[in-house]
A and B are shown apart, each in its own frame.
Chain A
Amino acid sequence: MMKSLILQTATKLLFPLLLLFSIFLFLRGHNDPGGGFIGGLVGAAAFALFAISSGTEKARELLRIDPTFMIGLGLFFALLSGVISMYAGTPFLTGHWAFPMVFGAEMHLGSPILFDIGVYLVVVGFTLAVIFSLEEEG
């Protein structure tokens, strides 16, 4: 942990921005470059920055879920996206889509997004598990 006023102030501003950007990148992955992996890295960067400026204890509190638990949860989501297609009688990981109307606009909702959520969680969980334990040792 670094006791730096500049870093702490900057983090306060950057933290929500990074999280928003991470969600933006995640959703953008639907049809454009982006997705769970890169979104997850940016999301992890936000928490890593917080951990460096305010200590891992506070960062863990803010994250609420334990990083290792997140890895398991992510794997679970990814698995779910494949199993849904098996349940529907198609091969593993086949995409299934629904097109509900939300506020007058058509949504493209598909099972691949579950896989991407899984990737997002695994990336955030793994990165933070590594960074937190490195911070706590050093």
Chain B
Amino acid sequence: MDHLLTLPVLIPLLTGAIAFLFYKNGTVQRWIGLAGTVALLIASILLLVDVWSNGIQAEQFGNWPAPFGISFVADLLSSIMITISGVMGFVVAVYAVADIDKTREKFGFYPLYHILLMGINGTFLTGDIFNMYVWFEVMLISSFVLLALGNAKAQLDGAVKYVIINLVGSAIFLMGIGFVYGLTGTLNMAELSVRLNEVDNAGLVTTVSMFFMISFGIKAAVFPLFFWLPASYHTPPVAVSAIFAGMLTKVGVYTLIRAFTLLFTQEVAYTHHIILWISGLTMLIGVLGAAAQSEVRRILSFHIISQIGYMIMGLALYTPLALIGSVFYIVHHIIVKTNLFLVGGLARKLTGSYELKKMGGLYRYYPWLGVLFLIPAFSLAGFPPLSGFWAKFTLIYAALEIESYWIAGVALLVGLLTLYSMTKIWMAAFWTPLPGYENDTTGAGFNKIGPRDMFLLVTPIVILATLTIIIGLFPEPFYELSLKAAEELLDPTNYINAVLGK
């Protein structure tokens, strides 16, 4: 028996525990943090390879047989998510070394960062619906603290909104779990998948599924439950915003996909139709919200929302091709969105502001940064040959295939409007001269960043931009991976057999 399945949770826990032991020594914490994320990345890649070649893996904690104990399950979707969170955990940890100030370091940024990663990975791997709630809490509590760490007024304001809406979401999730347990007498997701189909009153199951849709919808920030996101994501330091923007909402999307492929497929015509409307409105409202903003992180926050629409659009259409599109989109989006936040943070360090009005001149003095911005920005808008093009292409093709013309139209329109926002950032931050330094030719208006910090800030951006280009130029293997993941999602038999050992 190998323990690859537990490592994505154990490694961050160990790293976090050691970081707590050395909480007075920032240098040690940073090195341990980096070593921990490298180990996590390696373990998650090994897990992906293992699941790819040997099929779905399951492990029963404490050796209590399923469905009585807690199972950990890794199918392809889980291991893809684990791998991508390993990549993000590593690059953001590198960026954080230069971005996180001494005060935040002193109050426990590093331990909490790793506990957050543990919560995220636990949610991806668990095969037990109540255990998923517990991982949600681990993730939320550490994210509350990361959000409020530093005590700035705006941060506390954002954190209060974030905490309240997410606690409401958790409460609704817990109620849903209670109902499901009452209906079936089990919490194991594989067992639930079988038992929920045997409940006499199918309408009741659909009603209960709405609890899950609402609570996961809050976490995923879909329309009309997204208000907490743009109210809080722009307040903490960029390293925190970036990992939140990249991973946290995607955890919500993952749970939505899991719940509405594995558990609640009794009345697909009804439930998935609701999701389709939600996805269209999420895309549209998100992108329109972004158009009205003039602060880099707020623009990007609204774009997270509109992009969430695409991801659940694939779930809503519920065809093999559409689910492939969803999985592909999640991978592409996490990389691109995290990168945009990181670029935004670097631009802020150079110009001293996130406000578009106060930024400028970056292209003239830092043309390479312009290129590094354009790669994720164009990818987000869906320009070929970048990753976003293939993701959008697959989804829109899937929509046309089953003659859902309006959602395809919305998806195309939103792509265009995304480009508008990206152009806005480009014009204001890169193209126009820095306000107050219009006639200056020496670049005196910019803050100086030392070579060590510059290296730490730029390396993650370059890694992520390279990944975007690789996915864009060689989409074949990623497409293949998404294809297999989508097949597993549409036919949960293997998942159930792997857990229950039949």
Contact = CB atoms under 8 A, between A and B. Distances in A.
Nearest to B115: A75
B171 interface: no
Contacts of A92: 3, 6, 10, 59, 61-62
A92 B60 CA distance: 8
B21 A91 contact: no
Nearest to A89: B1
B62 A75 contact: no
Contacts of A90: 1, 63
B18 interface: yes
Contacts of B18: 72, 76
Interface residues of A, number: 19
A7 interface: no
A72 B21 contact: yes
Among B14, B19, B62, which residue has the most Cβ atoms of chain A within 10 A?
B62
Nearest to B18: A72
Secondary structure at the B interface, as helix, strand, loop or mixed, is helix
Nearest to B16: A75
A72 B62 contact: no
Interface string B56-85: 000111110000000000000000000000
B10 A79 contact: yes
B20 A94 contact: no
B239 interface: no
Contacts, number: 59
Interface residues of B, number: 21
A93 B61 contact: yes
A71 B62 contact: no
Nearest to A68: B23
B19 A79 contact: no
A86 B3 contact: yes
Contact of A94 (B21, B62, B108): B62
A79 B10 CA distance: 8
A73 interface: yes
Interface in B14-33: 14, 16-23
Interface string A74-95: 0110010011011001111111
Contact of A95 (B19, B23, B62): B62
Given A72-B111, A76-B17, A82-B6, 18 more contacts: A69-B21, A72-B18, A72-B23, A73-B17, A73-B21, A75-B13, A75-B20, A79-B10, A82-B10, A86-B3, A89-B1, A91-B59, A91-B63, A92-B3, A92-B6, A92-B59, A93-B61, A95-B62
8 contacts: A69-B21, A89-B1, A90-B1, A91-B63, A92-B6, A92-B10, A92-B59, A93-B61
Interface of A: 68-69, 71-73, 75-76, 79, 82-83, 85-86, 89-95
